[in-house]
Amino acid sequence: MDSYYMLKNNFLLKKIEISVSEAEKRTGRTAMNMQETYTAYLIETRSVEHADGQSVLTDALWRRYSEFELLRNYLLVYYPHVVVPPLPEKRAEFVWHKLSADNMDPDFVERRRIGLENFLLRVASHPVLCRDKIFYLFLTQEGNWKETVNETGFQLKADSRLKALNATFRVKNPDKRFTELKHYSDELQSVISHLLRVRARVADRLYGVYKVHGNYGRVFSEWSAIEKEMGDGLQSAGHHMDVYAASIDDILEDEEHYADQLKEYLFYAEALRAVCRKHELMQYDLEMAAQDLASKKQQCEELATGTVRTFSLKGMTTKLFGQETPEQREARIKVLEEQIKEGEQQLKSKNLEGREFVKNAWADIERFKEQKNRDLKEALISYAVMQISMCKKVGGWYLTLLPVCLDSCSCFSLLLGCIGICSHF
């Protein structure tokens, strides 16, 4: 992520530096008094507004992944118009055979530590989220932080999934821009998922190709022990094979870094859909309020004129048990007029709230798009440069090994192996 962009556009990161510096495996007890093993992460914040210009450690505290989840859930509820940054995966996805799917695996924990730090920097660089008090306390207050979050009552304000699903299917006049955004988020998720699956398959194949040549290295080294004239050449060839085979571990480790960057935007797709769902809920509430107001106005008109234009239970009751007295009708009209007045105010308020939401949401979506274009362009260019560098190393290795092949005509199989390596690229 572009740290300069963060510093230039945000006052919080001008005051403090944020890092997740360590990960530690711990054992504790659950609420059911059962033993559990989990990973805690050390968050350090440093003041950068010191008199001598040096950063000074101000706070250091440990957080579990579940606390990061609690923070994000709070942000989703209180800032529904914001594309809230996603957390890194809780369990490894799109793994290839050498990677462990165990969430306690040291390599996975390290990648998640980097992802959690990136999440905090994303929030701290956001022009709205960075000002949130709960977020600041997350960085600085270790004890009673959960209680402070729960006291906000955010869980009671969260929209239910059933209500959101109902709004999705029943809203009559959806905003075209948000409909297109939802389709875009679906496509973004689909494309990145496919890319990550292909990359995992390629990593499996590439790992196999490199490691097979490790077997060549062992064979040539053993062969060199029984040959007098070609011994040195075979030993040299075996050494180069071993170096080549070992290099794949660092290559694929670097690739995982770029895969994690793609995964972040895979999870951002769900954050975009969350904004769309909130807009659908607001639009559905607005339409229901307008429908209720229109119904009350019609009832009031029917009572005033004595004409019933639509079937109703009240109309049927009147036919069966007789007409209301003028006093009863006046009382009902008066109640309806009060309800109509309240409904008009409520509808006006919902309209204003909806327009404000659209304005703020679309501003944040544009900010997100700029960030996404910048980050993905940088990641893909860096990945391409890495691949070019890898191919150059393979070419250099081949040129180093070629004289060995030419010096020993009996090493024809070795030459074929080299050709097989280069044909892979």
* Per-residue confidence (pLDDT) for residue 113, from 0 to 100: 94
* Mean pLDDT computed over 397-418: 56
Please give the model's pTM, rounded to 2 decimal places: 0.80
In a domain, residue 419? The reply is yes
Portion of the chain with pLDDT greater than 70, in percent = 78
Domain enclosing residue 272, as ranges: 66-279+376-423
- Could you report the per-residue pLDDT of 253-267, keeping only the tens digit for each? 888 888 889 999 999
Task: Give how many domains the chain has, as a whole number.
Answer: 1
Q: Among candidates 256, 165, 248, which has minimal Cα distance to 207? A: 248
In a domain, residue 258? The reply is yes
Residue 3 predicted with pLDDT over 90: no
- Could you report the per-residue pLDDT of 35-90, keeping only the tens digit for each? 788 899 999 998 876 555 555 667 889 999 999 999 999 999 999 999 999 999 88
* 4 confidence band (pLDDT: 50, 70, 90): very low
Highest mean pLDDT, choosing among 164-173, 182-191, 198-207, 396-405: 182-191
Out of 155-164, 333-342, 371-380, least confident range: 155-164
In a domain, residue 217? The reply is yes
Q: CA angle at residue 353 from 351 to 357, to 5 degrees?
A: 115
Residue 416 predicted with pLDDT over 90: no
* Mean pLDDT computed over 179-190: 94
What does the mean pLDDT of the chain come to?
A: 81
In a domain, residue 122? The reply is yes
In a domain, residue 353? The reply is no
In a domain, residue 190? The reply is yes
Contacts of 264 (CB under 8 A, 6+ apart): 86, 88, 115, 118
91 phi/psi in degrees, rounded to 5: -130, 145
Q: 11: exposed, middle or buried (C-beta count within 10 Å: 0-12, 13-18, 19+)?
A: exposed
In a domain, residue 52? The reply is no
